[in-house]
A = this chain, B = another copy of it.
Amino acid sequence: MRYVMVQIPNTSASAPQAPSSAPTSADVARLAGVSRATVSYVLNDATAVRISEATRRRVREAARELGYVPHAAARSLRAGRSRMVLMPAPAIPVGPLYSAFVSELQGALGRLDYTVVQYGTAAVPGDEAARAWAELRPVAVLIPGFGLGPEGVAVLKRSGARAVVTLGPESVEGAHALLMDHGSVGYAAAGHLYARGRRRIGVVVPEEPGLGAFSRPRLAGARQALRGTGATVTALPLAYEEDSATRLAARWPELGLDAVFAYNDEYAMLLMRALQDAGVRVPEDTAVIGSDDLLLGRLLRPRLSTVRIHLPSGPQLAELVDRAVSDPGAPPETHRVLRVSVVRRDSS
Protein backbone atom coordinates (compact mmCIF):
# COMPACT_ATOMS: atom_id res chain seq x y z
CA MET A 1 0.00 0.00 0.00
CA ARG A 2 1.27 3.46 -0.81
CA TYR A 3 0.66 6.78 0.75
CA VAL A 4 0.66 10.09 -0.95
CA MET A 5 1.45 13.47 0.56
CA VAL A 6 -1.53 15.70 0.30
CA GLN A 7 -1.30 19.42 0.77
CA ILE A 8 -4.08 20.57 2.99
CA PRO A 9 -5.58 23.74 1.60
CA ASN A 10 -5.05 26.53 4.05
CA THR A 11 -8.62 27.64 3.85
CA SER A 12 -9.44 24.68 6.07
CA ALA A 13 -10.98 25.11 9.46
CA SER A 14 -7.60 25.01 11.12
CA ALA A 15 -6.59 28.33 9.56
CA PRO A 16 -9.66 30.56 9.72
CA GLN A 17 -8.20 33.61 8.08
CA ALA A 18 -5.21 32.47 6.11
CA PRO A 19 -3.60 35.43 4.36
CA SER A 20 -2.75 33.35 1.30
CA SER A 21 -5.60 34.75 -0.71
CA ALA A 22 -7.75 37.83 -0.70
CA PRO A 23 -10.58 37.76 1.83
CA THR A 24 -14.02 37.68 0.25
CA SER A 25 -17.31 38.94 1.48
CA ALA A 26 -18.02 35.38 2.54
CA ASP A 27 -15.05 35.55 4.87
CA VAL A 28 -16.37 38.75 6.33
CA ALA A 29 -19.80 37.18 6.73
CA ARG A 30 -18.35 34.17 8.49
CA LEU A 31 -16.34 36.28 10.89
CA ALA A 32 -19.26 38.55 11.63
CA GLY A 33 -21.63 35.64 11.95
CA VAL A 34 -24.04 36.91 9.32
CA SER A 35 -24.91 36.07 5.73
CA ARG A 36 -23.14 37.39 2.66
CA ALA A 37 -26.23 39.34 1.79
CA THR A 38 -26.05 41.26 5.02
CA VAL A 39 -22.41 42.05 4.42
CA SER A 40 -23.26 43.46 1.04
CA TYR A 41 -26.06 45.57 2.47
CA VAL A 42 -23.91 47.01 5.19
CA LEU A 43 -20.83 47.75 3.14
CA ASN A 44 -22.84 49.36 0.37
CA ASP A 45 -25.03 51.35 2.73
CA ALA A 46 -28.11 49.86 1.14
CA THR A 47 -31.07 52.02 2.01
CA ALA A 48 -33.77 49.59 0.97
CA VAL A 49 -33.17 47.31 3.92
CA ARG A 50 -32.89 48.10 7.57
CA ILE A 51 -30.03 46.48 9.38
CA SER A 52 -29.61 46.82 13.11
CA GLU A 53 -26.84 49.07 14.27
CA ALA A 54 -25.23 46.23 16.18
CA THR A 55 -25.01 44.08 13.07
CA ARG A 56 -23.63 46.94 11.05
CA ARG A 57 -20.89 47.43 13.54
CA ARG A 58 -20.03 43.74 13.64
CA VAL A 59 -19.80 43.60 9.86
CA ARG A 60 -17.69 46.71 9.57
CA GLU A 61 -15.41 45.48 12.28
CA ALA A 62 -14.95 42.13 10.58
CA ALA A 63 -14.23 43.77 7.23
CA ARG A 64 -11.65 46.02 8.79
CA GLU A 65 -10.01 43.21 10.66
CA LEU A 66 -9.66 41.05 7.57
CA GLY A 67 -8.58 43.94 5.41
CA TYR A 68 -11.44 43.19 3.09
CA VAL A 69 -11.34 44.93 -0.29
CA PRO A 70 -14.26 44.36 -2.64
CA HIS A 71 -13.53 42.75 -5.97
CA ALA A 72 -14.33 45.31 -8.65
CA ALA A 73 -14.53 42.76 -11.45
CA ALA A 74 -16.98 40.57 -9.60
CA ARG A 75 -19.05 43.56 -8.70
CA SER A 76 -19.34 44.93 -12.18
CA LEU A 77 -19.86 41.48 -13.61
CA ARG A 78 -22.83 41.10 -11.37
CA ALA A 79 -24.07 44.62 -11.90
CA GLY A 80 -23.72 44.38 -15.65
CA ARG A 81 -22.06 47.75 -15.80
CA SER A 82 -19.05 49.51 -14.38
CA ARG A 83 -18.12 53.10 -13.58
CA MET A 84 -14.90 52.90 -15.50
CA VAL A 85 -14.06 55.62 -17.96
CA LEU A 86 -11.32 54.41 -20.22
CA MET A 87 -8.93 56.75 -21.91
CA PRO A 88 -6.21 55.42 -24.17
CA ALA A 89 -2.94 57.08 -23.27
CA PRO A 90 -1.62 59.12 -26.17
CA ALA A 91 1.26 57.37 -27.88
CA ILE A 92 3.40 60.46 -28.21
CA PRO A 93 4.71 62.46 -25.29
CA VAL A 94 2.39 65.36 -24.95
CA GLY A 95 2.91 68.78 -23.49
CA PRO A 96 1.98 70.35 -20.17
CA LEU A 97 -1.17 71.80 -21.71
CA TYR A 98 -2.67 68.42 -22.38
CA SER A 99 -1.38 66.92 -19.14
CA ALA A 100 -3.12 69.60 -17.16
CA PHE A 101 -6.30 69.04 -19.13
CA VAL A 102 -6.30 65.31 -18.48
CA SER A 103 -5.55 65.83 -14.83
CA GLU A 104 -8.41 68.28 -14.46
CA LEU A 105 -10.73 65.94 -16.31
CA GLN A 106 -9.85 63.06 -14.07
CA GLY A 107 -10.61 65.12 -11.04
CA ALA A 108 -13.98 66.17 -12.39
CA LEU A 109 -14.98 62.65 -13.38
CA GLY A 110 -13.79 61.37 -10.04
CA ARG A 111 -16.13 63.79 -8.36
CA LEU A 112 -18.95 62.27 -10.40
CA ASP A 113 -17.87 58.92 -9.03
CA TYR A 114 -16.27 57.56 -12.16
CA THR A 115 -12.98 55.74 -12.16
CA VAL A 116 -10.69 57.03 -14.84
CA VAL A 117 -8.21 54.64 -16.29
CA GLN A 118 -5.60 55.36 -18.92
CA TYR A 119 -5.02 52.36 -21.10
CA GLY A 120 -1.44 52.00 -22.25
CA THR A 121 -2.25 51.72 -25.87
CA ALA A 122 1.22 51.55 -27.35
CA ALA A 123 0.95 51.62 -31.10
CA VAL A 124 -1.93 49.35 -31.94
CA PRO A 125 -3.86 50.42 -35.01
CA GLY A 126 -7.34 51.78 -34.41
CA ASP A 127 -10.04 49.19 -34.65
CA GLU A 128 -7.75 46.53 -33.31
CA ALA A 129 -7.20 48.59 -30.20
CA ALA A 130 -10.93 49.17 -29.80
CA ARG A 131 -11.39 45.47 -29.22
CA ALA A 132 -8.79 45.48 -26.46
CA TRP A 133 -10.52 48.42 -24.81
CA ALA A 134 -13.90 46.77 -25.15
CA GLU A 135 -12.69 43.76 -23.19
CA LEU A 136 -12.63 45.95 -20.11
CA ARG A 137 -16.29 46.90 -20.61
CA PRO A 138 -15.86 50.55 -19.74
CA VAL A 139 -19.00 52.61 -19.33
CA ALA A 140 -17.41 55.37 -21.38
CA VAL A 141 -14.40 55.75 -23.60
CA LEU A 142 -12.58 59.02 -24.26
CA ILE A 143 -10.34 58.77 -27.24
CA PRO A 144 -7.74 61.45 -27.77
CA GLY A 145 -6.39 61.88 -31.25
CA PHE A 146 -7.85 59.82 -33.98
CA GLY A 147 -7.28 56.54 -35.75
CA LEU A 148 -10.56 55.11 -34.60
CA GLY A 149 -13.05 54.28 -37.31
CA PRO A 150 -16.83 53.93 -37.12
CA GLU A 151 -16.25 50.20 -36.89
CA GLY A 152 -14.29 50.69 -33.70
CA VAL A 153 -17.01 52.86 -32.24
CA ALA A 154 -19.54 50.17 -33.02
CA VAL A 155 -17.45 47.52 -31.29
CA LEU A 156 -17.24 49.66 -28.17
CA LYS A 157 -20.91 50.44 -28.09
CA ARG A 158 -21.94 46.89 -28.76
CA SER A 159 -19.85 45.79 -25.82
CA GLY A 160 -21.63 48.12 -23.48
CA ALA A 161 -19.89 51.48 -23.66
CA ARG A 162 -22.67 53.97 -23.15
CA ALA A 163 -20.60 56.93 -24.28
CA VAL A 164 -17.83 57.13 -26.80
CA VAL A 165 -16.22 60.53 -27.10
CA THR A 166 -13.44 61.41 -29.49
CA LEU A 167 -11.12 64.33 -28.86
CA GLY A 168 -9.57 65.00 -32.17
CA PRO A 169 -9.51 66.69 -35.51
CA GLU A 170 -12.59 65.06 -36.95
CA SER A 171 -15.77 63.45 -35.73
CA VAL A 172 -16.39 59.76 -36.11
CA GLU A 173 -19.72 58.23 -37.04
CA GLY A 174 -21.68 57.27 -33.94
CA ALA A 175 -19.45 58.93 -31.38
CA HIS A 176 -19.66 62.22 -29.59
CA ALA A 177 -16.95 64.54 -30.78
CA LEU A 178 -14.96 67.23 -29.12
CA LEU A 179 -13.54 68.72 -32.23
CA MET A 180 -10.06 70.01 -31.74
CA ASP A 181 -9.42 71.57 -35.06
CA HIS A 182 -5.75 72.39 -35.15
CA GLY A 183 -6.37 74.13 -38.41
CA SER A 184 -7.50 77.09 -36.39
CA VAL A 185 -4.06 77.36 -34.82
CA GLY A 186 -2.43 77.67 -38.21
CA TYR A 187 -5.22 79.93 -39.35
CA ALA A 188 -4.71 82.32 -36.46
CA ALA A 189 -0.93 82.31 -36.78
CA ALA A 190 -0.92 82.93 -40.51
CA GLY A 191 -3.64 85.54 -40.21
CA HIS A 192 -1.61 87.37 -37.63
CA LEU A 193 1.55 87.31 -39.72
CA TYR A 194 -0.39 88.56 -42.73
CA ALA A 195 -1.88 91.36 -40.69
CA ARG A 196 1.62 92.34 -39.67
CA GLY A 197 2.41 92.82 -43.32
CA ARG A 198 4.17 89.56 -44.06
CA ARG A 199 3.61 87.90 -47.41
CA ARG A 200 6.05 85.04 -47.78
CA ILE A 201 5.27 82.76 -44.90
CA GLY A 202 6.97 79.54 -43.86
CA VAL A 203 5.25 76.90 -41.77
CA VAL A 204 7.36 74.44 -39.83
CA VAL A 205 6.31 70.83 -40.13
CA PRO A 206 7.99 68.62 -37.50
CA GLU A 207 9.65 65.54 -38.86
CA GLU A 208 8.96 63.59 -35.71
CA PRO A 209 6.50 60.81 -36.45
CA GLY A 210 3.22 61.05 -34.63
CA LEU A 211 3.06 64.82 -34.83
CA GLY A 212 1.60 64.71 -38.30
CA ALA A 213 -1.89 64.60 -36.87
CA PHE A 214 -1.32 68.08 -35.51
CA SER A 215 1.08 69.56 -38.00
CA ARG A 216 -0.90 68.74 -41.12
CA PRO A 217 -4.03 70.58 -40.04
CA ARG A 218 -1.97 73.49 -38.79
CA LEU A 219 -0.31 73.80 -42.17
CA ALA A 220 -3.63 73.48 -43.92
CA GLY A 221 -5.12 76.14 -41.66
CA ALA A 222 -2.32 78.52 -42.53
CA ARG A 223 -2.91 77.87 -46.23
CA GLN A 224 -6.58 78.51 -45.82
CA ALA A 225 -6.03 81.79 -44.01
CA LEU A 226 -3.96 83.09 -46.88
CA ARG A 227 -5.99 81.69 -49.76
CA GLY A 228 -6.64 84.36 -52.30
CA THR A 229 -4.43 86.95 -50.65
CA GLY A 230 -1.43 86.44 -52.87
CA ALA A 231 0.73 85.53 -49.90
CA THR A 232 2.66 82.30 -50.19
CA VAL A 233 2.97 79.39 -47.79
CA THR A 234 6.07 77.24 -47.70
CA ALA A 235 6.20 73.99 -45.70
CA LEU A 236 9.45 73.64 -43.78
CA PRO A 237 10.32 70.17 -42.51
CA LEU A 238 12.30 70.41 -39.27
CA ALA A 239 13.48 67.84 -36.79
CA TYR A 240 13.68 68.75 -33.11
CA GLU A 241 17.49 68.92 -33.14
CA GLU A 242 19.98 71.74 -33.34
CA ASP A 243 21.56 70.35 -36.51
CA SER A 244 18.30 70.30 -38.35
CA ALA A 245 17.57 73.88 -37.35
CA THR A 246 21.03 75.00 -38.39
CA ARG A 247 20.60 73.45 -41.81
CA LEU A 248 17.23 75.05 -42.28
CA ALA A 249 18.59 78.44 -41.22
CA ALA A 250 21.43 78.10 -43.72
CA ARG A 251 18.89 77.80 -46.51
CA TRP A 252 17.05 80.89 -45.31
CA PRO A 253 18.35 83.39 -47.87
CA GLU A 254 17.35 81.21 -50.79
CA LEU A 255 13.95 80.55 -49.24
CA GLY A 256 13.26 84.26 -49.17
CA LEU A 257 10.71 84.12 -46.37
CA ASP A 258 9.70 87.08 -44.26
CA ALA A 259 7.81 85.17 -41.57
CA VAL A 260 7.46 81.71 -40.10
CA PHE A 261 4.88 79.90 -38.02
CA ALA A 262 7.02 77.36 -36.23
CA TYR A 263 4.45 74.73 -35.22
CA ASN A 264 4.82 75.42 -31.51
CA ASP A 265 6.95 77.36 -29.07
CA GLU A 266 9.59 74.69 -28.75
CA TYR A 267 10.23 74.45 -32.45
CA ALA A 268 9.99 78.22 -32.62
CA MET A 269 12.67 78.65 -29.99
CA LEU A 270 14.88 76.17 -31.75
CA LEU A 271 14.48 77.83 -35.12
CA MET A 272 14.70 81.37 -33.86
CA ARG A 273 18.02 80.66 -32.22
CA ALA A 274 19.35 79.09 -35.42
CA LEU A 275 18.13 82.02 -37.49
CA GLN A 276 19.77 84.53 -35.19
CA ASP A 277 23.01 82.57 -35.24
CA ALA A 278 22.84 82.66 -39.03
CA GLY A 279 22.52 86.42 -39.00
CA VAL A 280 18.82 86.65 -39.73
CA ARG A 281 17.26 89.45 -37.72
CA VAL A 282 14.01 88.69 -35.87
CA PRO A 283 11.55 90.21 -36.42
CA GLU A 284 13.02 92.68 -38.92
CA ASP A 285 14.02 90.17 -41.59
CA THR A 286 11.75 87.37 -40.49
CA ALA A 287 8.89 87.33 -38.02
CA VAL A 288 8.49 84.22 -35.86
CA ILE A 289 5.45 82.88 -34.05
CA GLY A 290 4.92 79.63 -32.17
CA SER A 291 2.03 78.23 -30.19
CA ASP A 292 1.16 76.94 -26.71
CA ASP A 293 2.33 80.02 -24.86
CA LEU A 294 5.10 78.35 -22.91
CA LEU A 295 6.70 80.42 -20.21
CA LEU A 296 10.09 79.69 -21.69
CA GLY A 297 9.15 81.46 -24.91
CA ARG A 298 8.97 84.70 -23.02
CA LEU A 299 12.58 84.36 -21.97
CA LEU A 300 14.01 84.69 -25.43
CA ARG A 301 14.95 88.01 -26.95
CA PRO A 302 12.93 89.07 -28.78
CA ARG A 303 10.14 87.61 -26.72
CA LEU A 304 8.33 84.98 -28.70
CA SER A 305 4.87 85.66 -30.09
CA THR A 306 2.58 82.71 -29.75
CA VAL A 307 -0.87 81.27 -30.33
CA ARG A 308 -2.48 80.43 -27.04
CA ILE A 309 -4.64 77.33 -27.13
CA HIS A 310 -7.60 76.88 -24.83
CA LEU A 311 -8.71 73.34 -24.19
CA PRO A 312 -12.17 72.56 -22.84
CA SER A 313 -12.53 72.61 -19.08
CA GLY A 314 -12.45 69.32 -17.26
CA PRO A 315 -15.80 69.73 -15.47
CA GLN A 316 -17.43 70.67 -18.75
CA LEU A 317 -16.25 67.51 -20.46
CA ALA A 318 -17.05 65.42 -17.41
CA GLU A 319 -20.55 66.80 -17.61
CA LEU A 320 -20.85 65.74 -21.23
CA VAL A 321 -19.68 62.25 -20.40
CA ASP A 322 -22.11 61.94 -17.55
CA ARG A 323 -24.98 63.13 -19.68
CA ALA A 324 -24.08 60.72 -22.44
CA VAL A 325 -23.89 57.85 -19.99
CA SER A 326 -27.27 58.69 -18.53
CA ASP A 327 -28.85 58.91 -21.93
CA PRO A 328 -27.03 56.66 -24.34
CA GLY A 329 -29.79 57.00 -26.89
CA ALA A 330 -29.25 60.69 -27.43
CA PRO A 331 -27.77 61.67 -30.78
CA PRO A 332 -24.02 62.28 -30.75
CA GLU A 333 -23.06 65.83 -29.88
CA THR A 334 -20.31 67.66 -31.66
CA HIS A 335 -18.56 70.56 -30.01
CA ARG A 336 -15.79 72.67 -31.38
CA VAL A 337 -13.69 73.06 -28.29
CA LEU A 338 -10.38 74.40 -29.44
CA ARG A 339 -10.35 78.13 -28.87
CA VAL A 340 -7.38 80.07 -29.99
CA SER A 341 -5.94 83.52 -29.42
CA VAL A 342 -2.84 85.24 -30.65
CA VAL A 343 -0.44 86.65 -28.09
CA ARG A 344 1.77 89.12 -29.82
CA ARG A 345 5.11 89.75 -28.24
CA ASP A 346 8.27 90.99 -29.91
CA SER A 347 9.11 88.35 -32.47
CA SER A 348 6.36 89.26 -34.93
Residues of A within 8 A of B (CB): 19, 21-23, 67, 69-74, 76-77, 82, 89, 91, 93-94, 96, 99-100, 103, 106-107, 109-110, 115-120, 122, 131-132, 134-137, 154-155, 158-160, 240-242, 266, 269-270, 273, 295-296, 298-300
Contact = CB atoms under 8 A, between A and B. Distances in A.
A158 B91 contact: no
Contact of A120 (B76, B116, B132): B116
Nearest to A274: B299
A56 B100 CA distance: 48
B117 A69 contact: no
Contacts of A240: 295
Contact of A76 (B73, B106, B154, B296): B73
B296 A158 contact: no
Given A96-B93, A107-B122, A77 B67 contact: no
24 contacts: A21-B160, A22-B137, A67-B155, A67-B158, A69-B131, A70-B135, A71-B77, A71-B135, A72-B135, A72-B136, A72-B137, A73-B73, A73-B76, A73-B136, A93-B100, A94-B99, A106-B122, A110-B122, A117-B118, A118-B119, A242-B299, A270-B299, A273-B299, A296-B296
Contacts of A107: 122
A295 B136 contact: no
